[in-house]
Structure 1
């Protein structure tokens, strides 16, 4: 197997994928569902229902190199040595990778893995004194460097397990907008941490993207997606909840598309609250992407580029859905993505 890696996100037109989390606690069932539903772009499922260490934060902290964290009543906090929570995180990840490997025999194509990005992680994990790592520039640097090395090793492991895969790394950054706006609360809750300079945020992300050496998608399901910053940082794709996009975002979205950035548009609801898995909300896949089509027309973009530039996804992770709805949601994403190619208008 060649060790050469491409940082270009090469996908077939009309592709769909998921965000990361899935319901339940059965790794084999989750891997079977994901690989069976998303033949064009499967992903490594996360099963947070199993508890700490299986959640996206705990999994990512378990990947760090020479940094360790444990669960405290207030959340995740750095410690001096690996403990029970680190071992549990490693065990859950091995189980998930074993299941994925089982269901990707002879697989050829893009395969997505997920981890929490450096800014959301820094605003989530506490230092020993109880304040978020975001509050200390040295802690931020150490965390970003450790994360970059851990993710590089994780990419290599997945590549060995699934030799035919073109690994794509998704960085989950739901907290990035709050970091940039100075809205991350302190431990006391009486103040917020100062806003991080956008140039610093961008350079940190760029260094991580360059370190892992594979295409990187940045996902956020929060309002205020910094499309320009992420594009300049080297993100090959940007994943977002499409319902949160406003007309004020249109120019930045158009610039990203024209620069070759792939948009992962979250258009299918992440939970089945208010509707059964097979009910009316799931009966019109083409209708799911009507908003995307309207955006395209509003930006004056060529309709035939829709299927090449847009990947259809759920709005966010599916951990809070029923297993039946999760399967239906992924199937709807696949069908909706195909309509962007078969009927771009």
Structure 2
């Protein structure tokens, strides 16, 4: 006979929850990250997400209906701590009639929580999940057809901090940013009776099935982190990027031109010692990683997927670093300048 003496009964989680203080999670939109959790005790961490449909300026010439969590792509960044009970409430405000849910890779149990959070239009579902595993994880909608929900924008990141400083190698840094890579698949724009193409493009299931994206972006749309809205830092600072790859198809070869990853927490692993001085890291669809960079020389640093033709599909972002020049480290006959037509070094 199996010994069940160490297995919690069905009411154990409820009893645990009744003793926990409640805390509303601080949610941020990319590229911002919530502040570090300083407390040393678990809480009932309340997270409210809503599903919406949003017509977004996807590229300079095209608009697209994105499916979102909290009206943003990627969805909000969630920061928690090992031992917290995540109280996740999902409200479906999608007026198309599609059901939605949350598959959170940090959650242990059927569907990563999707089995108890599937919600119809106009309703709310709530699940409670004890967070046992530290790390950086993807969450996404897993309602059928799953690839369509992800391809249209339903994904985000959750960071589960370890319980105490002695159990991890994640050092303090000066700045933290939230970046997600994903692809979009769409049909050519329809034309009106005069032959003028529409400004709106629609999702293409065949392109997704063939794994032939029309666009590859950081943070949900073209130019999310380029000339008008670059990431920023100063020389002497350490910058951390929490990077996720929503896919749904392509593996990312994440690289920052002009820097290397002083510390790399592969696959979002915060417990093992990080790799050091890494040039490029591979992040699969549904995966995440944490990279630290020490900014030594001022200038523009370029975020890319080093499967470099994806640059031509929009896969680029900038990190502008200000500060005094360092000729003992970097100098040339002429000051740094972009080449004609360059998309990498503005």
Pairwise same-fold verdict (TM > 0.5): no
Higher alpha-carbon Rg: 2
Which structure shows the bigger proportion of residues in strand conformation?
2
Q: With a CA cutoff of 8 Å and minimum separation of 6, indicate the structure with the bigger relative contact order.
A: 1
Identify the structure with the greater helix proportion. Answer: 1
